[in-house]
């Protein structure tokens, strides 16, 4: 195996695929990249057994084809030290030594045989296939991923629920305290759903930012495959039944509050400094087009309050929320004004962005309240 390649192009490819490699690998070979050279294209695979990311790159002067397992850390550490220049990479297929040469020097790294590298999971012939708009997929992941859980007892909540219907695509994330539902118009030929784990979702988010073309998605009951222009991501899906999220979304919250999102978020951050560190409870008293935020920590005799103007249509109400969750939700709303719909102090609050014009998508965020002492 021998070829010439741009140092920065190779580093970019390895850095992207290398995001999958975990420090807690059960198999030593998973600390390596699988590098395969065929027909002038270098294919680089990284895997943690659950998720596999494959990237490809055109190389110059492909003199000999082949495949090798290259140690990820040593490859990345050495490539980071090069400015943009052509590198010649040669593999000795008897000793598995990887030799990297450049105009004024060379280095060698011990590789390994590619024979024991795990195979990429193959999807079932009855898999479902569709094409997705890249912006739709990025938005869906961005809007919902922060609400997913880290719960070993309920693994289904540790991922994003993606529900495909003939005319809509829905992304849902929840950890039982907060919930996000992002729905977009999308013409699909398939009606199906699956739960995408958090790690591949985060990887997709970073890789998709460089994409402009549509994404080819195929999935069966166990795995999903996302085909991009220069990358393919294959991941194991979370198995199980996702909770009925529509059942917890209130059908009608009569009290409606319109408020400047940044002003509210900054007010919460200021007042939360004096909240109890174990509960982070913030009390909201809403009446007469004003919202009063209050927090106190009785143990340390600390308290804070702030009153913010708003537009309120409804009965006077007092409700408590966890400040960290409130800030998280408001940070993920992308409009200057937010609509908050409330029923009473025991039922979930619904947060929605307020747009000036009609949108092809809708975002709904829900937050469960906390008990407040009257």
Q: Sort strands 192-197 and 178-185 into parallel, antiparallel or unpaired.
A: unpaired
pLDDT at residue 374, rounded to an integer: 56
Positions of the chain with pLDDT lower than 70, given as ranges:
374
Q: Counting Cβ atoms within 10 Å, is residue 226 exposed (0-12), middle (13-18) or buried (19+)?
A: buried
pLDDT at residue 187, rounded to an integer: 82
Alpha carbon distance 246, 225 (integer Å): 28
Alpha carbon distance 141, 134 (integer Å): 11
Alpha carbon distance 121, 223 (integer Å): 8
Alpha carbon distance 60, 42 (integer Å): 10
Whether the Cβ atoms of residue 204 and residue 141 lie closer than 8 Å to each other: yes
Q: Which of 129, 241, 245, 243 is nearest to 182 (CA)?
A: 245
What is the tens place of the pLDDT at every residue in 99-149? 999 999 999 999 999 999 999 989 988 899 989 888 899 999 999 999 999
pLDDT at residue 126, rounded to an integer: 87
Q: Which domains are present in the chain?
A: 2-116 (3.10.150.10), 128-246 (3.10.150.10), 255-367 (3.10.150.10)
pLDDT at residue 25, rounded to an integer: 79
């Amino acid at each position: 195996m021998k070829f010439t390649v741009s140092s920065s192009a190779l580093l970019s490819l390895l850095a992207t695929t290398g995001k999958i490699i975990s420090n807690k690998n059960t198999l030593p070979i998973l600390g390596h990249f699988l590098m395969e050279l065929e027909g002038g294209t270098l294919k680089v695979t990284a895997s943690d057994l659950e998720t596999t990311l494959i990237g490809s790159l055109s190389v110059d002067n492909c003199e000999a084809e082949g495949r090798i397992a290259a140690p990820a850390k040593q490859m990345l550490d050495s490539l980071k030290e090069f400015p943009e220049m052509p590198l010649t990479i040669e593999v000795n297929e008897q000793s598995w030594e990887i030799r990297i040469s450049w105009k004024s020097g060379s280095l060698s790294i011990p590789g390994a045989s590619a024979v024991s590298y795990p195979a990429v999971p193959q999807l079932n012939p009855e898999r479902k296939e569709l094409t997705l708009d890249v912006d739709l997929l990025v938005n869906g992941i961005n809007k919902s991923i922060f609400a997913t859980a880290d719960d070993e007892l309920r693994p289904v909540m540790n991922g994003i629920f993606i529900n495909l219907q003939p005319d809509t695509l829905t992304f849902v994330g929840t950890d039982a305290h907060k919930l996000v539902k992002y729905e977009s118009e999308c013409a699909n030929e398939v009606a199906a759903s699956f739960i995408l784990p958090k790690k591949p979702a985060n990887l997709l988010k970073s890789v998709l930012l460089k994409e402009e073309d549509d994404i080819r998605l195929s999935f069966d009951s166990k795995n999903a495959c996302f085909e991009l222009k220069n990358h393919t991501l294959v991941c194991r899906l979370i198995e199980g039944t996702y909770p009925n999220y529509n059942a917890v979304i209130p059908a009608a919250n009569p009290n409606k509050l319109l408020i400047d999102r940044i002003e509210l978020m900054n007010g919460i951050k200021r007042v939360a400094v004096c909240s109890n560190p174990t509960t982070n409870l913030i009390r909201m008293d809403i009446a007469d087009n004003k919202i009063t935020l209050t927090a106190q920590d009785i143990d340390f005799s600390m308290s804070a309050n702030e009153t913010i103007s708003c537009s309120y249509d409804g009965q006077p109400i007092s409700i408590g929320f966890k400040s960290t969750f409130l800030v998280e939700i408001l940070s993920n709303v992308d409009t200057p004004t937010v609509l908050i719909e409330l029923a009473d102090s025991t039922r979930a609050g619904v947060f929605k962005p307020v747009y000036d014009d009609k949108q092809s998508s809708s975002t709904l965020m829900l937050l469960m309240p906390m008990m407040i002492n009257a």
